[in-house]
Amino acid sequence: MTYKTYRQVSGHLKSFSLIKTIRNSFLVLITIVSVISFFIAFCAVLGYAGNNNIRVINVKVVADEEFRASDEWVDVIVESFKRTSAFYEEQFGIKFNLKLIGEWISDNNSFNIQSLLEELSNNVGKDGSELVVGFTRQVSKSLKCVFSRPALGIALPFNDYVIVRADRKKGFDYHIMSLILTHELGHAFGALHVRDSTSVMNISVNNHTVFRFDDRNSKLIRLTKFVDFNKGVTSLKKSCLEQIIGLYRDGFEVDYENATRHLLIGSIFSEQGMIDEAILEYKEAVKIDRKDPESLTRLGVAYAGKGLLDDAIKVLSKAVRLDSINGAAHVNLGMVLVRKGKQEEAIDHLRKAIEINSINPEAHCILGGIYIQKGLFDKAIFECKKALDYNHIYSDAYYNLGIAYHSKLMYDEAITAYKKAIEIEYKNTMARNNLGLAYYEQGMLEEAESEYIKLLRVDPGNQMALNNYQAVLFAKKEGL
């Protein structure tokens, strides 16, 4: 009986924006094709404090229907957390506070643990907690990881959603459950697998009688102890980042994870806007494993970030041939093709992504954006709504939905959608711009003026907002 865990490279989806402007007299309506990348979300280290300084992390736990089939499911969760938290507190001064235990209706068609994790993060809100841990007991061929072994958990570095899985065929083993929980939470703090078989970060955690982290992972977790799971790497102290990169560079020796280490380092650079440095790391990762869709995808996305679209297409075209896990390579290739004006090819890849992974809000959102560009607004509305079915806190999907309604002159619906986009993403300046425009077009000049004032407060140098604000003032003066 060996317990294996999924390696912690994975596709955390993040959106950024591609803007296309359409001139409309004084005012400009922007359409957006939202873009995703494979990037791991890196988070802030607020500085190292000693173990005397306790960090309490509020956790929301949900269990799926298979897990809840056992009468003792609540006890298993409570007991696992008790043991894991006691260990983390003793080692690092980190306490896990179980704030809420709830139910989760998991997607039984989810064909691997990675898409199950995506589903968890798309559908289960955090309710004010910092971490969400999903317990599952699904057994099927579907829960194989990339090594064709059943995975017992998944966690992405510095990410706020974690999955722990128990085998349904066996009874609950409280000790093993808490070992797996300890291991996966280690990943959440950036820990990597090690050869040291006495470390809880060894890939086989089943034989362990004691809880122990190896020295390097301990060092790492002490550095990342105060990680803010909500924020990106940009809020990290540079000195901490350098130490973490140093540890990732030299500290770990599990050969098959060398590519992972380069991806992690590349992501830290990328999140800081150091794209050239990131590209070097991603190239190293590709050198180690030329058939890893994630390394290829990240390299392609980094090229696209530099505007090197042909290089991006070349690399992403390789990635899509290997991407059978979550469709992210197809989504990213589709996004670059849109930028090249190749809409039909882009649509093919986005459809393929949905075929691979049916829960794919990003693919639907980008399709919505393409249909807007093609003037097919009903189709765009359909796709945006699909995106929102799978992720109801998706600002870009509301934004695209707003544009589709706006284009159909359905102002009430458009305004509602733009407002939703802004509510979710305060700094969605394009949604604010279009909201102002929707008011302006209906002659609601006071409302339009007030929106542009708000927008300029958020983004004072926004030239489009300045122009539009002037246009509104001019219309007011002229009594238009």
Cβ-based nearer residue to Zn ion, 5 or 80: 5
Selection from 211, 206, 353 nearest residue 293 by Cα: 353
The token duo for 111 is 């064909």
**Phi, psi for 135 (deg, rounded to 5):** -100, 130
User: Cβ closer to Zn ion: 5 or 85?
Assistant: 5
Please give the structure tokens belonging to residue 299.
């390299």
Cα distance between residue 150 and residue 152, in whole Å: 7
Q: Which two tokens stand for residue 245?
A: 């990169």
Instruction: Tell me how far, at minimum, the Cβ of 154 lies from Zn ion, in Å.
Output: 8
| 352: its two tokens | 């393929």
Handedness of CA 397, 125, 270, 232 (dihedral sign): positive
Residue 232 and residue 361: Cα distance in Å, rounded?
Answer: 22
The tokens for 423 are 């509510």
Distance of CA 446 to the CA centre of its chain: 38
Q: Which is nearer to Zn ion, 260 or 468 (CB)?
A: 260
Other Cβ atoms less than 10 A from the Cβ of 195: the count is 13
Q: Minimal CB distance to Zn ion: which residue?
A: 5
Least distance between Zn ion and beta carbon 201 (Å)? 7
Distance in angstroms (rounded) separating the CA atoms of residues 342 and 312: 14
Question: Of 424, 336, 386, whose CA–CA distance to 401 is shortest?
Answer: 386
State the DSSP string of 122-137: HH---TT-SEEEEEE-
User: CA end-to-end span of the chain, whole Å?
Assistant: 77
d(CA 246, CA 73) in angstroms, rounded, equals 41
**Token code pair at residue 402:** 């707003």
Instruction: Name the residues that contact Zn ion, by CB under 5 A.
Output: 5
